Amino acid sequence: MLTEEQEQTTQIVALSLDSAEDLQRMVDRISADDSLTPRFPFVTDQDHRVIDRYGLFNADDPRGRPLPHPATYIIDREGVVRWKFVEVDYTLRPGNEEILAALDGLGG
């Protein structure tokens, strides 16, 4: 969970190739499963312009559907990437503790 200060200085965005309708279904499912609605936007990038900018598009995904590599970025107000986690294996993701530690490391 973000600290009060981080709530004021941090913007979380989920980016996906999925359509806006599919993303809404995902939000609805998360809300139903967890009894909490995500407090950040889910944004579609169907033409993968942002995904391509970060070199994450995986056209050779072994599941037969081109998907971006899972990634988490911390980008400062000047647009500089301060921390990132990029993984080819879609089942590996950073934990909340790891992300919060990276945010803490930025100092404020």
HSE, CB side, 13 Å, CA atoms: give it for residue 82. 16
CATH architecture of the domain with residue range 4-105: 3-Layer(aba) Sandwich (3.40)
Residue 43 φ then ψ, to 5°: -115, 135
Could you tell me the mean pLDDT of each successive run of 10 residues in the chain, 108 residues long? Answer: 81 91 94 90 92 85 77 88 88 90 80
Which residue, among 12, 36, 41, 11, has the nearest Cα to 24 in the 3D structure? Answer: 41
- Residue 6 burial (C-beta neighbours within 10 Å; 0-12, 13-18, 19+): middle
Q: What does the CA dihedral 25, 27, 33, 37 come to, rounded to 10 degrees?
A: -150
pLDDT in tens, 78-107: 888 999 999 888 789 999 899 989 988 886
pLDDT at 90: 78
